[in-house]
Amino acid sequence: MSFASDLRQRLDLARKLIDEAGKLALAHFADLVHLRIDSKLNGQDVVSAADRGVEALIRGTLAKTFPEDGFLGEESGLADGRSGWRWTVDPIDGTSCFVHGLSSWCVSIALSDADEHTRLGLILAPVSGDLYEAVHGEGARLNGRPIKVDTQTSLETGLVGLGASHRVPAQEVASLLEMLLARGGMFVRSGSGALSIAEVAAGRLAAYYEPHINAWDCLAGLLIVREAGGFTADFPGAGRHLLTGGPVLAAAPQIAQPLNDLIASARRH
Ligand code: LIP
């Protein structure tokens, strides 16, 4: 089988699978009162039966169809494969929003090759129905229509998505917020890094930055931004490992440097 044919087969399945996963997640979302929720690292870091059920659906279907592929899921961890392909999946990104009944969550599926290049990225926001998708070298799409980052916005006119969690010192986030506001900028925090990164690709956000995020949260979105003409900093960055995560920056090209300068200043404070 050729590389292109292997990739196409996996894209076809990923499209069907993310739709099925979105429907399962929505069924849980409609019945939150009966949803089992557990804390992980702290009260803000939660996992639900919906996360586990959606990941089991995706992981089980992929294992049946492509048993030689590797898989990295937020809830079930890493399983190496022999084919060179590896799926990286966040069954529900924005779990905290999900369990609180907020609509800012999504299903994120990425596929990487043996050289750790992301070749497919799919992000579905089931509440809105928005499906973001990219194939390496073939552009980015939202609901089937081509998308591009916003090349006209600036820090002073655009919205910067900022991620925050208790995995990083509060002061680091506070310093960046202060510097961005002082610069005349504005921020939003949606609670779903994957969805915010996809909104950079759609030209809705000027950029997205988070001091620490995991691979399953961002690999799909970073490909979608690159294919939409955006800048993405190397992830997880020099000296870091896929499983430890790291900082993420995705931006319209004209925003990347001024925002990076603010990030560097905030880190020094
Ligand atoms: C979330 C990320 C978000 C981050 C949260 C959490 P999850 O992923 O999308 O950007 O700030 O701490 O990691 O846990 O909802 O899949």
- Which segments of the chain belong to CATH 3.40.190.80? 159-268
Q: Is the CB of 247 under 6 A from ligand 1?
A: no
pLDDT digit string (tens) for 56-74? 999 999 999 999 999 999 9
Contact indicator for 219, 121 with CB cutoff of 8 Å: yes
Which mutation among 192, 195, 197, 222 tests ligand 1's pocket best, with the greatest number of atoms within 8 A of CB?
Answer: 192
For residue 167, give the ligand 1 atom closest to its CA: 12
pLDDT digit string (tens) for 251-261? 999 999 999 99
Mean pLDDT throughout 22-27? 98
**Residue 191: predicted pLDDT:** 96
For residue 90, give the ligand 1 atom closest to its CA: 16
Q: What is the CATH number of domain 3-146?
A: 3.30.540.10
| Residues 6+ positions from 169 with CB-CB distance below 8 Å | none
Is domain 159-268 classified as CATH 3.30.365.10? no
CA–CA separation, 19 and 14 (whole Å): 8
- Which segments of the chain belong to CATH 3.30.540.10? 3-146
Tokens of 102: 């907020």
Q: Is the CB of 95 under 6 A from ligand 1?
A: yes
Q: Give the helix ranges, DSSP H, for the chain.
A: 3-29, 49-65, 95-99, 170-182, 193-201, 215-227, 253-268
**Residue 1: predicted pLDDT:** 75
Q: Is the CB of 94 under 6 A from ligand 1?
A: yes
CA–CA separation, 171 and 181 (whole Å): 15
* Confidence category of residue 269, pLDDT binned at 50, 70, 90: confident
Question: Closest Cα to atom 10, ligand 1: which residue?
Answer: 193
